[in-house]
Amino acid sequence: MTKTIFLDRDGTLVVDPGYVYKIKDFKLHEGVIEGLKKLKDFTFFVITNQSGIGRGHFTEKDMHIFNNHLLDELKNHDIKIKEIYFCPHSPYDGCDCRKPGDKLAREAYKKHDIDLKNSWVIGDTKLDCGLAKKIGAKSIHVLTGYGVKHLDEVKELNPSYIAANIDQAADFITFKNEKKIIPREKIVALAERLKKEGKKMVTINGAFDILHKGHAKILKEAKKQGDILIVGLNSDSSIRANKGPKRPVNNQESRAKMLAAFSFVDYVVIFDEKTPLKLLEEIKPNIHVNGSEYGEDCIEAPIVKKYGGKIYVVSLLEGCSTTGILRG
Ligand SMILES: [Mg+2]
Ligand SMILES: [Zn+2]
């Protein structure tokens, strides 16, 4: 049986200025090549709604020329799409191939012996998540294309993860480092063992909802301050208490996984309290890292210093925040 990824085309693989079909407008989204390379154990299909044909904006032939260009570009990077399935109808035609209709996915399933339960749909709209639900596959919603606009409706369809782009989706799908996620009740024993081994422990905490370049930069710099980086992750309920019912976008298990996927993160521990003070008291880090918006006098400072630790302040990347991404 084949493990498959059903990829949406417009807004997911390629940038979509609206009914895209001209080669001159062809542009891959950031992270597409990197992400698809990480997913090389899967067979790729594209399933795409091309209502531009039914609405008369371009012809089927135009679409094929554009699709072939896409296939060639991916082939240049050793990425192979097995087949592209398309719906040429407008939403008013009442066909059953337009996503979230599952006719095209069923065709692929029959032809290629697909293991639907271990397959994924990646797309930027509720139509893609809706398709995943219908065929019993898992789904990842990407925030490229219409991703931000569709976010609220998509959340009701419970995708496995909401990712900034396909590269992050790939990290989520291929995640294997479960052991880095430490149950809260085991953190004291872990910290004591590390201390005995003479390891310099670094801690940092936050919500890490939708990961972005700023997060990676801070975490990398944090790791450089010692031997072992432990990330304290706010639980879902503690984020809701701080930021309101719309956050977090991703649940705590998914957020923990994505942090653990970074090579420079050694451990992730979820904490439920409003502040990380109790957690830090348990870990007694050598260094605690904080963003420059809180600085040296952050609320964590007294507890860290009480056990001989230091505060290290990193400057944040300008214009990088989850809230910023969600504004689109
Ligand atoms: Mg799309
Ligand atoms: Zn159709």
The answer to whether 151 and 21 have CB atoms below 8 angstroms apart is: no
Banded model confidence at residue 295, pLDDT cuts 50, 70, 90: confident
The tens digit of pLDDT for each residue in 203-213 reads 999 999 988 88
Half-sphere exposure of 7 (CA within 13 A, CB side): 28
Cβ contact 15:27 at 8 Å: yes
| pTM listed for this prediction | 0.90
- How close is the Cα of 20 to the center of ligand 2, in Å? 18
Q: Ligand 1 centre from 111 Cα, in Å?
A: 24
Mean pLDDT of 101-127: 96
**Mean per-residue pLDDT, 162-167:** 96
Share of residues in the chain with pLDDT > 70 (%): 96
The per-residue pLDDT of the chain, averaged, comes to: 94
Instruction: Pull the structure tokens for residue 124.
Output: 């930027």
State yes or no: pLDDT of 274 exceeds 70: yes
Q: Which of the two residues, 121 and 2, has the higher pLDDT score?
A: 121
Neighbours of 303 (CB within 10 A): 19
List all residues 6 or more positions away from 258 whose beta carbon is below 8 Å from its beta carbon. Answer: 161, 168, 171, 172, 175, 208, 211, 250
- Cα 125 to middle of ligand 1, angstroms: 6
* Ligand 1: centre distance to CA 177 (Å): 30
Summarize pLDDT for 3-12 with one digit per residue, the tens: 999 999 999 9
Point out the ligand nearest to the CA of residue 20: 1
Query: For residue 14, which ligand has an atom nearest its CA?
Result: 1
194 close to 269: Cβ distance less than 8 angstroms: no
State the ligand closest to the CA atom of 129: 1
CA of 40 to the centre of ligand 1 (A): 22
Q: How far is the CA of 246 from the centre of ligand 1 (A)?
A: 23
Asked, as a colleague might, if the bond just before 159 is cis with ω within 30 of 0, I would say no
- pLDDT reported for residue 200: 98
112's tokens: 């290629």
The torsion angles phi and psi of 291, rounded to 5 degrees, stand at -70, 155
* d(CA 313, ligand 2 centre) in Å: 55
pLDDT greater than 70 at residue 319 = no
**Which domains are seen in the chain, by residue range?**
4-173 (3.40.50.1000), 178-327 (3.40.50.620)
| Ligand 2 centroid to residue 96 C-alpha, Å | 6
| Whether residue 118 has pLDDT greater than 70 | yes
Pick from 31, 325, 123: nearest CA to 207 = 325
Whether residue 132 has pLDDT greater than 80: yes
The DSSP line for 218-235 is: HHHHHHTTSSEEEEEEE-
Point out the ligand nearest to the CA of residue 98: 2
**N-to-C CA span, the chain:** 39
Asked if the model's pLDDT at residue 318 lies above 90, the reply is no
- Closest to 227 measured CA to CA, from 194, 261, 186: 194
Helix, coil or strand: residue 162:
strand
Burial of 241-272, coded b for 16+ CB within 10 Å and e otherwise, reads eeeeeebbbbebebbbbbbbbbeebbbbbbbe
Distance (Å, rounded) from C-alpha 141 to C-alpha 148? 10
Output the CA 95–ligand 2 centroid distance in Å: 5
